[in-house]
Amino acid sequence: MGTSVTDADESAIAAILARFVRYHPDRIDLSLDRMHRLLSDLENPQNTLPPVIHIAGTNGKGSTTAFLDSALTAAGLRVSAYTSPHLVRFAERYKIAGEIMSDAALRTLFEEIEDRNAGKPITEFEITTAASFLAMARTPADVVLLETGLGGQFDATNVVTKPAATIITPVGYDHMGFLGDTLAAIAGEKAAIQKPGVPSFVAPQAPEAAAVISAFADDIGAPLYRAGHEWQLTATPNGGGRYTRGETIWNLPEPGLPGRHQLDNAALATACLDVCGFPGITQETIQAGLARARWPGRMQRLTSGPLPAILPDGAELWLDAAHNPMGATVLAEAFGSLETQAERPLHLVVAMLDDKDIAGFLAPFAARAISMTAVPLDDEPRAMPVREMVAAAEDAGLAAKPAGSVADALTQITQGPMPVRVLVTGSHLLVGATLRANN
C-alpha cells in the first residue's frame, strides 16, 4: 500500500517542527522580542485579525474555548481558533473559519514561515503561533479564539494589543519553574493578558489569585466581569444553570461536555458572549451552542475500537488530559458523580511528564480509585519514569503496578472484579497516543 498524501505531509510537518526546535533549543524562553521580530517580517498579521477573544488560565482554557466556538457557530458566525496542545495531529491546533487545517495546508504554511524566519533564533511555540496569525489574517472570519500556551505576560499569543475580550479561567499550580511557585505569582502572569479598556471575564478563583487579577485590571483600567460578582451562576437540578447579569437572566442547558466543572466553564463563555454583543448571540443560540459543544480528550468515553474491546461488557473506558492537582480535583469529583449513577470500581492508567506534581495529582483520587497502572510515554525524553509513578501511587495508598502500554494495562485490569471504570489520564501525550492506538 502506498503512502497517502496525508501521511507524507504529516511526516514533513514533523521534520519541520524538528528544525524549528533547533532554531532555539530551549523549549520555553519567556520573552516577546523574537515574536515581535518575526511578526514584523511577516507584516504583522496579528494586527489585521477579526475580533479576538484571548484566553488564559491553568485549567479550563480548552473547554471554555469549545463552548465559545460552539455558541458563536450556533449564532451563524465563522470562527477561527488557535489552541494547544494537540492530541493526534499538530494541525488540530489550527481551526480556520470553522475548519481544521489540512496537513498539506499546514505544511505549506510552515515552509513559508520557516523561509521568512531565515534561520534566526525563535522557539517552536513562537513560530507555530506566528503561523496561526498568518493563517487567520488571510482567511475571513467573524471571531478569533486565541488560547495562551503558558502563562500570559510573555506568552507568544500576547501580542494582540486590542482584543475584543480577555478571559481568565481557574488559576492553579502548574509550570511553576517558569511562572513562579505561588498562586499570586502565577495569577500575575495570567492577568497580564488583560488590556486597558478591554472587558476581562474571570472564572471563580482562589482568593490570592482573585486579588492579583482584580488589582491588575484596576491598575490598567480593564472592566472586570467576575463570576460571583458582576455575574452569577446558579446550578439547577437538570444539570444546567441560571446565568444572571443585572436584568439579564438566561437558562443554561446541561453542557455538552460532561462534569459539573464544565457548567462553570460554560457560564464563563456565556458571560463573555453576553457582554461583548456579537451578532446573533441570544439565549437560544447560547443554549444550542453549550449543549452541542465537544472537546476531545476531556471526559471522553471510548465506546468502540480495539481498546474498549479488551474490556468486558459493562466496563467503561474514559480519557482525560488533566495533568495538575487542580485538574485532578475536578476530575475526581466528576468521577464521583458517575459513581452515584452507576457503581464501578475506578482504575487509573497514568503517564506524566517529569516536571509534574504526581503526588498532588494522585491525592484527589486516593479515596475514589482502587488502583493505578503506570505506563511509559514512548519516545518522550521528558516522561516521568514508570517506577517513580508507581512509587507515588503507593505513597498515596493506591495499589500500583507498571504496564508496557495502555492495552497491556487494560488486559491486567480485566483480570480483577467486573465491571470496571477505567480512566486514562495524566498527560495530553498519553491521551493522544491512546486515541491513535484506538483508531
Q: pLDDT tens-digit profile of 285-296?
A: 999 999 999 999
Q: How much is the pLDDT for 402?
A: 98
Domain coverage including residue 317: 300-438
Among candidate residues 292, 319, 351, the one where a domain is terminated: 292
Among candidate residues 292, 318, 335, the one where a domain is terminated: 292
Residues 6+ apart with CB under 8 A from 375: 349, 350, 351, 386, 402, 403, 404, 405, 406, 408, 409, 430
Q: Are 35 and 158 in contact (CB under 8 A)?
A: no
Side-chain-side CA neighbours of 229 within 13 Å: the count stands at 12
> Domain check: are 207 and 123 in the same one?
yes
Q: What pLDDT band is residue 5 in, cutting at 50, 70 and 90?
A: low
Q: How much is the pLDDT for 2?
A: 40
- pLDDT tops 50 at residue 3: no
Q: Quick one: average pLDDT of 186-196?
A: 97
Residue 98: which CATH number?
A: 3.40.1190.10
Q: Quick one: average pLDDT of 356-377?
A: 97
> Domain check: are 73 and 191 in the same one?
yes
> Domain check: are 37 and 185 in the same one?
yes
- pLDDT tops 50 at residue 1: no
Q: How many domains does the chain have?
A: 2
- pLDDT tops 50 at residue 198: yes
Q: How much is the pLDDT for 175?
A: 66
Model pLDDT for residues 210-247, shown as the tens digit of each residue: 999 999 999 999 999 999 999 999 999 999 999 999 99
Among candidate residues 292, 327, 358, the one where a domain is terminated: 292
- The least confident of 139-143, 151-155, 282-286 is 151-155
Residue environment code for 359-394, b if the CB has 16+ CB neighbours within 10 A, otherwise e: ebbbbbbeebbebbbbbbbeeeeebbebeebbebbe
> Which grid coordinates are listed for 355?
516536571
> Domain check: are 272 and 374 in the same one?
no
- pLDDT tops 90 at residue 341: no
> Domain check: are 29 and 153 in the same one?
yes
Q: Quick one: average pLDDT of 402-425?
A: 92
> Domain check: are 261 and 337 in the same one?
no
Taking all residues of the chain, what is their mean pLDDT, rounded to a whole number? 94
Q: How much is the pLDDT for 27?
A: 64
Residue for grid cell 452507576: 342
> Domain check: are 273 and 352 in the same one?
no
- pLDDT tops 80 at residue 282: yes
- pLDDT tops 70 at residue 42: yes
Share of the chain above pLDDT 90, in %: 87
- The least confident of 189-193, 337-341, 435-439 is 337-341
> Domain check: are 278 and 396 in the same one?
no
Q: Quick one: average pLDDT of 301-315?
A: 95
Q: How much is the pLDDT for 26?
A: 72
Q: How much is the pLDDT for 30?
A: 74
Residue 423: which CATH number?
A: 3.90.190.20
- pLDDT tops 70 at residue 366: yes
Q: Quick one: average pLDDT of 342-350?
A: 93
> Domain check: are 81 and 146 in the same one?
yes
> Domain check: are 28 and 142 in the same one?
yes
- Find the angle CA(151)-CA(149)-CA(439) to the nearest 5 degrees: 145
Q: Long-range contacts for 295-299 (Cβ within 8 Å, ≥24 apart)?
A: 295/62, 295/63, 295/65, 295/66, 295/257, 296/87, 296/435, 297/87, 297/321, 297/428, 297/431, 297/432, 297/435, 298/62, 298/63, 298/257, 298/259, 299/257, 299/258, 299/259, 299/262, 299/331, 299/334
Report the C-alpha gap between 426 and 362 in whole angstroms: 9
DSSP E strands: which ranges in 330-420?
Answer: 346-350, 369-374, 399-402
> Domain check: are 225 and 281 in the same one?
yes
Share of the chain above pLDDT 70, in %: 97
Q: Quick one: average pLDDT of 117-142?
A: 96
Q: What are phi and psi of 424, to 5 degrees?
A: -95, 120
Q: What is the maximal distance between C-alpha atoms in the chain?
A: 63
- pLDDT tops 50 at residue 276: yes
Classify residue 103 by burial, with Cβ atoms within 10 Å: 0-12, 13-18, 19+: buried
Q: How much is the pLDDT for 7?
A: 81
> Which grid coordinates are listed for 120?
534566526
Q: How much is the pLDDT for 151?
A: 80
> Domain check: are 410 and 320 in the same one?
yes
Report the C-alpha gap between 312 and 343 in whole angstroms: 16
Q: How much is the pLDDT for 259?
A: 87
